Structure 1
């Protein structure tokens, strides 16, 4: 009997991983969309007749909205399920990206970018709930790590790719590409992505027909929605085991990710005479660093927890925090190397600042995964709320920070 059940268990496990990959990619598209135009600031500024600094606000605006919008999406996803919200997100994001591509004024492009950010945001915060609902605690670090790594990778991967696009076919194809990607995601998730929200005793039996499976949307949680539901994640400000990790993560994310990826497209064209394609290539450092850092923040942090468990003692969530110290040190070291070496560089490009960016990216990812996993371990029943709160904290700080440090660095 055990031998007969094994293939079925493997099938279920594969299905969970596939669903996680779809959600993680969707989450990546939030930060990916925000950072997509970073390599094209100069082109956008010339086309819309604004300064490069004002063109960069089209990214800052998206960063802020991605932080606040999940407060609206979380209660709806709790009541109606994750799947309808994700499908609506992709449909509306595709439409708004088309709108961005058709805009010919700074104001209208900013408005369309704001709408795109609002609709693409759910998976970047609710993804923590999907992981919590589908995976066991002993593997949570690894799978939350996949989700957080994709969110982090969206920041450097977008300008890395779209630097080529802006250089070869014009920056408006950035928006067309984003719209096409959203539509492809929609088709895949519609046929492959299952609902993960489940409340024992609250769901009625459903038909197993294909029509019901893919088109049968219904209310999952009968509890009436109240205004408190939309602001409830903000109450985590009183929970030290959530707010302290959120603060640590937000500060590291600001300096080790946002500062570097915004400074590169503003400094390198002036300092080295780079075009958009060459600017985009500089993001290879943060990309490599993030991937390497995730091996420590996710897989090795789970192993670290299991080592304590083997001694017959169930480890407290705080035991995972030891791993984060390495991430903090690497982030500090990487940011210092990036800024100092950029300042020292002549008008001839050298790779040392990008090495610093890679070190900072690794540290950022270690801190991100460990802090998010620790907070979810502390309050697993409200994993969605934790994801929303930490995202709100991170994105708000990521929005405010550039207005302060840009003047300091200049």
Structure 2
């Protein structure tokens, strides 16, 4: 049994006793409070019990879901600006219309006219630089969150996101705008880099399915809603108002973070409790049970290289990150080409072509609903059939049947668009693509949370880094591929590659646990 040590508040009243787990030394007798204060015996501070209300996992459901909704709101806002690279060095208007999958992109022609530039490379860079910031941010932010906690990183990056968004609106040159767009993308990556870790903090394994579905949906729906809103906004008020509206929305959510997003990371919560007890008991030798004993500098060095180590040396993380990156790149390839397809083949005007993205969005929402409703049930059912063990691999089983939506969607979208079939049919094809992407994207996020709970932020950061880089590169092949192969065979090629990828989750289902638990691939 661990002894408990009473303490007095400044007012002198006794409060509830905190369990102090004392490291036994010498004859093994536990020192009393007076002796502890007088000696250098070390004591370890732990949570009062598994049901300790200070642990985020024990908070009331209402508090948890409000936090997830606030977190998802900022993720949605930051990814409405999510950018996509240039896909063709043709006329400037063709480039920017193909880039209309970001909220800001529809205003690029106005911007280039205002700054008197016809440089197609800069027109592409001013949009795509944001995603490079998304790739850079998790490298720094995820490790910092495992040292200082989630909430300080959220609050600081939210403030900087608002500042950099306003700076974009006030930019007086193209170079200034490009610089602030990169910083904006870096700050905006916090919600996606740390969000999965927050979900792991709040929910036990068999309850994470719905939470991860809600959180993961927003970064993918943002680029769907972005062009619909951005096209009308930039046409009516100009490109600068795109940034002003986003700055206002981000400011509101930033305030909500201060109200509804307290610290959730158990390591930091327990460390704060330890600091409080040191002052109350006047015992500087108390230490957190989760304290590694390393200095901040050493801890930071280990934390900052952990995502890269996971990506390079963990076959599970590397394979799932690559799979996630490919389907993410597919989605963005559709985003960067759909405008050109419907303007050229169906004569859609620039003002309404953004509405074609709704098909992808509906498909993604369907995929989210399917995962949210089935994932936890599948996990629990498979665990009951296997001696109650909740294996992370069970999260991936939904990928195999639902993953077929992606190739089928590409076949329908490609051939119906090439043959000029009624415009609703290719949009239905993009809906299947959206559903299939979510069938890969969300289970991978959930798996990484279950498999790397204490270092979930680092695992998701590794996934986000690789996903952002590949997601920025794959769409480069969009229009050139369609020009060479046509819409039918071009999209069929993507469909065939999607079929080839299906064995990847099947292999992880069979061999993943063995590889994950292998000492050779343990990442600390």
TM range (shorter): 0.7 to 0.9
| Partner residue, 1:203 | 272
* Cα deviations by residue, 1:113-170 (Å, 9 ceiling, x for unpaired): 1111011111111111000011010011221111111121112111122222122222
1:365-376 mapped onto 2 (5 Å cutoff): 365-376=438-449
Instruction: Using the TM superposition, give the Cα deviation of residue 42 of structure 1 relative to its aligned residue in structure 2, in angstroms.
Output: 3.9
Matches within 5 A, 1:363-402: 363-402=436-475
Q: Secondary structure at the match of 2:271?
A: coil
Q: Which residue of 1 aligns with 2:67?
A: 19
Which range moves more in the overlay, 134-143 or 220-229? Answer: 220-229
Deviation readout 1:361-386 (Å, 9 max, x if unpaired): 11111111111111222222210011
Q: Specify which of 136, 141, 145 is matched with residue 77 of structure 1.
A: 145
For residues 12-51 of structure 1, the aligned pairs below 5 Å read 12-34=60-82, 35-48=102-115, 49-50=117-118
Matched, 1:186 2:260: no
Contact 2:364/2:437 (<8 A) preserved: yes
Deviation at 1:236, TM superposition (A): 1.0
RMSD between aligned alpha carbons? 2.5
Distance 2:340 2:171 in 1: 23
- Name which of structure 1's ranges 327-336 and 282-291 shifts more when overlaid on structure 2: 327-336
Match of 2:95 in 1: none
1:145 has 2:213 as partner: yes
Pick one of 328, 346, 362 that aligns with 2:435: 362
Question: Partners of 1:205 and 1:111 in 2: how far apart?
Answer: 42
- Distance, in Å, in 2 between the alignment partners of 1:356 and 1:46 is 36
Question: May I ask how many residue pairs the two structures share in their alignment?
Answer: 388
Are 2:387 and 1:339 equivalent residues in the alignment? no
Provide the secondary structure at the position in 1 that maps to 2:273. coil
C-alpha contact 1:96 1:112 (8 A) present in aligned 2: yes
Secondary structure in structure 2 of the residue aligned to 1:103: coil
Deviates more, 1:336-345 or 1:24-33: 336-345
Q: Which residue of 2 aligns with 1:224?
A: 296
Which runs of 5 or more structure 2 residues have no equivalent in the other structure? 1-52, 83-101, 277-289, 484-524
Report whether the alignment pairs 1:303 with 2:370.
no
Match of 1:314 among 373, 389, 402: 389
TM-score of the pair, normalised by structure 2: 0.69
Distance 1:231 1:24 in 2: 27
Match of 2:224 in 1: 156
Runs of 4+ in 1 over 6 A off after TM superposition: none
Instruction: Give the secondary structure class of the aligned counterpart of 2:266.
Output: coil
TM-score by structure 1 length?
A: 0.87
8 A Cα contact 2:383 2:391, kept in partner = no
Aligned to 1:168: 236
For the 8 Å contact 1:67–1:396, the answer to whether it is kept is yes
C-alpha distance in structure 2 between counterparts of 1:163 and 1:175, whole Å: 13
Task: Name the structure with the higher helix share.
Answer: 1
Classify 1:333/1:242 alpha carbon distance in 2 versus 1 (closer, same or farther; 3 Å): same
Instruction: Report the alpha carbon displacement of residue 360 of structure 1 after superposing the two structures with TM.
Output: 0.6
Structure 1 residue 266: Cα displacement: 4.0
Please report how far the alpha carbon of residue 107 of structure 1 lies from its aligned counterpart in structure 2 after TM superposition. Answer: 2.2
Q: Which runs of 5+ in 1 are unaligned?
A: 208-219
